[in-house]
């Protein structure tokens, strides 16, 4: 019998907060979480804006307070989002088989802040002054390890790292793990904290970041003719995936069903997407095939939509190619990165949560700042204002440097 996979918990930590319902309200209202940077103060940087998480206290989310003190910020974000998702799901692991639950918590870059600080310490003071916790704070799989210890779960547990597609790949691989029978419950998503001078300076040199510093809230403008790059965000997004019968037996509230997953590679360029969007098209088509759906059965796409000039055009072309011109014209497409910024390895988890909430409430979140549409981006991007609609299935897209692509299909649960 086919094992179906449902979503029973959602957790986010973003610049728009980490209370899930308040976050969702702010997204629906088109509120921007992008401001002048506070954690990085270097006037030499051409980019001075970002979507920072403010006033975040990690301690309530850790069983061991020493772990909280030693946790790099991206680790703390991931653990917090996982605990929020776990609380919503209502799972009690003392009543479940611990070897049937696991976690795929990814990160695109990992503990770069710790690496920068450790390098500076080494250069200025020598190796004997390095913290003994430097390595545990750097490694990408630390969040999954802490979550496993806190919950006592011993199932599959590893870190997915695939740049900006990380969170979506993590959820897709967790979906396959449950379908293949290796687990009944999986935490899946990603966390990221790359607000450092090195990261910002490096992305600026690539001409990837927006430098519209005078109006931070308007700097992330996917599909707009005046876009000039993405705005970096930080945080985490995690979902609880559960085998359907396992969820039913414990009376879980099912938010929606994860029905399809596809991945691909552009095989084109280290950072640029294929101009025709062929890799993005391929992974959307695979996700649809796994879901057993045709183009007309998708009503909404949460686009990767980073606000980079080539990326938005390539994704638009990919959607048209995958869905056909007629179907694509009937789709609602939006980029919530216009509000959250681009969370890199955490983006896929946050946007999967948003897609699930869109299905739950039958509301499509807007793309804000879309004032002057790019003529080459001519789909319905739900500009400025959220829109009610009949939503049965949606796709969440994530595409990363190195030409890596991932798409996930979520559908209304039909028992």
pLDDT digit string (tens) for the chain, length 415 residues: 689 999 999 999 999 999 999 999 999 999 999 999 999 999 999 999 999 999 999 999 999 988 898 899 999 999 999 999 999 999 998 877 889 999 999 999 998 888 988 899 999 999 999 999 888 888 999 999 999 999 999 999 999 999 999 999 999 999 999 999 999 999 999 999 999 999 999 999 999 999 999 999 999 999 999 999 999 999 999 999 999 999 999 999 999 999 999 999 999 999 999 999 999 999 999 999 999 999 999 999 999 999 999 999 999 999 999 999 877 788 999 999 999 999 999 999 999 999 999 999 999 999 999 999 999 999 999 999 999 999 999 999 999 999 999 999 999 998 7
Number of other CB atoms surrounding residue 164 within 10 Å:
28
The residue from 47, 159, 164, 256 that is catalytic is 164
pLDDT of amino acid 98:
86
Q: Note if 384 is an active site residue.
A: no
Beta carbons within 10 angstroms of residue 284's beta carbon: 30
Distance, CA of 44 to CA of 39 (rounded, Å):
15
CA distance 270 to 102: 32
HSE-CB at 406 with a 13 A cutoff on CA atoms is 28
Report the C-alpha gap between 55 and 137 in whole angstroms: 21
Catalytic residue among 169, 246, 290, 342: 342
> What integer pLDDT is reported at residue 1 of this predicted model?
65
Beta strands in 326-402 (DSSP E): 332-334, 363-364, 387-388, 393-400
| Residue 412 near residue 256 (C-beta atoms within 8 A) | yes
Catalytic residue list contains 164: yes
> Residue 96: its pLDDT value, please?
75
Taking only the tens place, the pLDDT of each residue in 83-94 is: 999 999 999 988
Active-site residue, from 256, 274, 304, 377: 304
Q: Are 73 and 36 in contact (CB under 8 A)?
A: no
Q: What is the CATH architecture of 263-407?
A: 3-Layer(aba) Sandwich (3.40)
Residue 35 annotated to the active site: no
Is 5-249 in CATH node 1.10.1740.10? no
Q: Output the pLDDT for position 136.
A: 85
Positions of CATH 3.40.47.10 in the chain: 5-249, 263-407
With a CB cutoff of 8 Å and minimum separation 6, the contacts of 164 are 108, 304, 306, 342, 344, 345, 347, 348, 398, 399, 400, 401
Tokens 């910020």, residue located: 73
pLDDT (0 to 100) of residue 191: 98
User: Where are any strands of DSSP class E within 23-116?
Assistant: 35-36, 49-50, 101-106
């Amino acid at each position: 019998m086919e094992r179906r996979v449902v979503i029973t918990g959602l957790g986010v930590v973003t610049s728009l907060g980490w209370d899930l319902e308040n976050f969702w309200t702010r997204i629906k209202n088109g509120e921007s979480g992008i401001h002048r940077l506070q954690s990085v103060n270097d006037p030499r940087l051409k980019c001075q804006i970002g979507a920072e998480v403010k006033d975040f206290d990690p301690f309530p989310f850790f069983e061991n307070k020493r772990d909280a003190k030693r946790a790099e910020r991206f680790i703390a974000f991931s653990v917090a989002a996982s605990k929020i998702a776990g609380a919503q799901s209502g799972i009690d692991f003392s009543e479940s088989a611990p070897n049937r639950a696991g976690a795929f918590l990814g990160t695109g870059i990992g503990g770069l802040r710790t690496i920068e600080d450790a390098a500076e310490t080494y250069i200025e003071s020598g190796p004997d002054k390095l913290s003994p916790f430097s390595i545990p704070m750097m490694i990408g799989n630390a969040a999954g390890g802490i979550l496993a210890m806190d919950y006592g779960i011993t199932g599959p547990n590893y870190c997915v790292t695939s740049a900006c597609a990380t969170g979506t790949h993590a959820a897709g691989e967790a979906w396959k793990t449950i379908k293949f029978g290796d687990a009944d419950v999986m935490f899946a998503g990603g966390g990221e904290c790359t607000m450092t001078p090195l990261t910002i300076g490096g992305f600026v040199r690539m001409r990837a970041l927006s430098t519209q510093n005078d109006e931070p809230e308007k700097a992330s403008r996917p599909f707009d003719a005046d876009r000039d790059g993405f705005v970096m965000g930080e945080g985490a997004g995690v979902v609880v995936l559960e085998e359907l019968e396992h969820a039913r037996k414990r009376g879980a509230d099912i938010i929606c069903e994860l029905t399809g997953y596809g991945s691909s590679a552009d095989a084109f360029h280290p950072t640029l997407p294929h101009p025709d969007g062929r890799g993005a098209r391929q992974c959307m088509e695979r996700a649809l095939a796994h879901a057993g759906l045709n183009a007309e059965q998708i009503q909404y796409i949460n686009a990767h939509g980073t606000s980079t000039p080539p990326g938005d055009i390539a994704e638009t072309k990919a959607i048209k190619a995958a869905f056909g011109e007629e179907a694509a014209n009937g789709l609602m497409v939006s980029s919530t990165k216009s509000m959250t910024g681009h969370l890199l390895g955490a983006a896929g988890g946050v946007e999967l949560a948003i897609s699930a909430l869109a299905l739950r409430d039958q509301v499509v979140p807007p793309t804000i700042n879309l004032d002057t549409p790019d003529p080459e981006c001519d789909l319905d991007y739900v500009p400025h204002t959220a829109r009610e609609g009949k939503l049965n299935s949606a796709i969440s897209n994530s595409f990363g440097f190195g030409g890596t692509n991932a798409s996930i299909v979520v559908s209304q649960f039909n028992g």
